[in-house]
């Protein structure tokens, strides 16, 4: 599965990418919302993993909504370390509270991509 990981913290993004690649997924990495939208348009990911607070002017909420315009129905996993995030999820999404376990991430992916 081709997964777009949008996370502004390099170490977190790298760890998530490594985990997903180890489990056989193709991973595209974006350090900002703007870059995530570029990759979404260019490569049509099959799943979007996005932090809520990203560097740049776009939030993870914005990325999911705009990515859905080009790729309707793409499953979305949101991640946040903040309890005060006011949810604006798209349908077909799951919210993970940081820190989350590897098992929880893989479980969320599996539940969103079951056909």
**Scanning the structure block, which residue is given the tokens 């799951």?**
94
- Looking at residue 86, its pLDDT comes to 60
Query: What CATH number did the domain enclosing 69 receive?
Result: 3.40.50.2300
With both helix axes pointing from N to C terminus, report the angle between 33-43 and 60-70 in degrees, rounded to the nearest 10.
20
Residue-wise pLDDT tens digits, 71-80: 898 999 999 8
- Looking at residue 70, its pLDDT comes to 86
Domain that holds residue 86: 2-113
CA angle 47, 24, 114 (to 5 degrees): 45
**How many domains does the chain divide into?**
1
- Looking at residue 56, its pLDDT comes to 82
Distance CA 57, CA 17 (A): 23
Rounded to two decimals, what is the model's pTM?
0.92
- Looking at residue 82, its pLDDT comes to 78
| Residue spans of the chain under pLDDT 50 | none
């Amino acid at each position: 599965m081709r997964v777009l990981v949008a996370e502004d913290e390099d170490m977190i993004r790298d760890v998530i990418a490594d985990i997903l690649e180890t489990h056989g997924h193709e991973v595209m990495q974006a350090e900002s919302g703007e870059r995530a939208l570029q990759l979404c348009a260019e490569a049509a990911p099959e799943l979007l993993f996005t932090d809520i607070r990203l560097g740049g002017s776009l939030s993870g909420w914005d990325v999911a909504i705009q990515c859905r315009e080009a790729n309707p129905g793409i499953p979305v996993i949101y991640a946040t370390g903040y309890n005060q995030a006011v949810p604006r999820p798209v349908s077909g999404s799951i919210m993970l509270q940081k820190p989350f376990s590897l098992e929880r991430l893989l479980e969320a992916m599996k539940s969103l991509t079951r056909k």
